[in-house]
Chains A and B, each alone.
Chain A
């Protein structure tokens, strides 16, 4: 069902920078803003980034988002052990009453 493509996994040692990509099309990422969600093990998803690069209150500034064309990225600078989680990108489809589409998800491991 996912139409946004993410790498299945990413990893880094504490303090490293980790980047996750999200690839879509002109009908989703190319037309609407992107949101990122973090899902810790056994927990509900949590909003991490909205409107391509905005952080909700309480989200550490080591998380940052960017977008170019039909692709987007989430960067975790100076990754910490508590950042080990699944990450999902999401964007609305541009068609009339179009759906929200999620990415395939990326599991981030802190080595």
Chain B
């Protein structure tokens, strides 16, 4: 059974750095065809993809946020850590981590879909 859970602060101040941890079970991020991604959703707004780390440690980042994002993989602890610098009130959102699966007969980073999601954690940016 695949599960993921996000953890971290619920409130951060503007300009601070946000560190969120995704702790997962039921799969190994070292398995070919597996990935873990982060997606966020501001209150009442649409989903926004942030980043993904693949089984081979390749990573992709949102072009608009890549200068602020770092993704750290800790396979021994079954965790993926998202670091976002210089937080702003517009970054207030629910942050989700999700398990990615590569579809059959496909190779490359665009072959993945997110088939299991964490419950999400609401992060508010306010002074």
Contact = CB atoms under 8 A, between A and B. Distances in A.
Interface of A: 1-2, 32-33, 35, 37, 39, 44-47, 50-51, 54, 56, 88, 90, 92, 94, 97-105
Contact of A99 (B46, B63, B113): B63
Contacts of B118: 44
A77 to B, nearest CB: 22
B103 A99 contact: no
B119 A100 contact: no
Nearest to B99: A47
B109 to A, nearest CB: 7
Contacts of A98: 60, 110
A37 B47 contact: yes
Contacts of B60: 97-99
Contacts of B63: 99
Contacts of A51: 103, 113
B64 interface: yes
Given A37-B114, A97-B61, A100-B37, 13 more contacts: A35-B113, A35-B114, A47-B114, A50-B115, A92-B112, A97-B60, A98-B60, A99-B60, A99-B61, A100-B49, A102-B39, A102-B48, A104-B46
A88 B39 CA distance: 13
Interface of B: 37, 39, 46-49, 52, 60-64, 96, 103, 109-110, 112-115, 117-120
B117 to A, nearest CB: 4
Nearest to B58: A97
Contacts of A97: 60-61, 109
A92 B112 CA distance: 9
B119 A44 contact: yes
Contact of B49 (A44, A46, A99, A104): A99
Nearest to B104: A51
B57 to A, nearest CB: 14
B32 to A, nearest CB: 18
A90 B60 CA distance: 16
B110 A92 contact: yes
Contacts of B109: 92, 97
A102 B103 contact: no
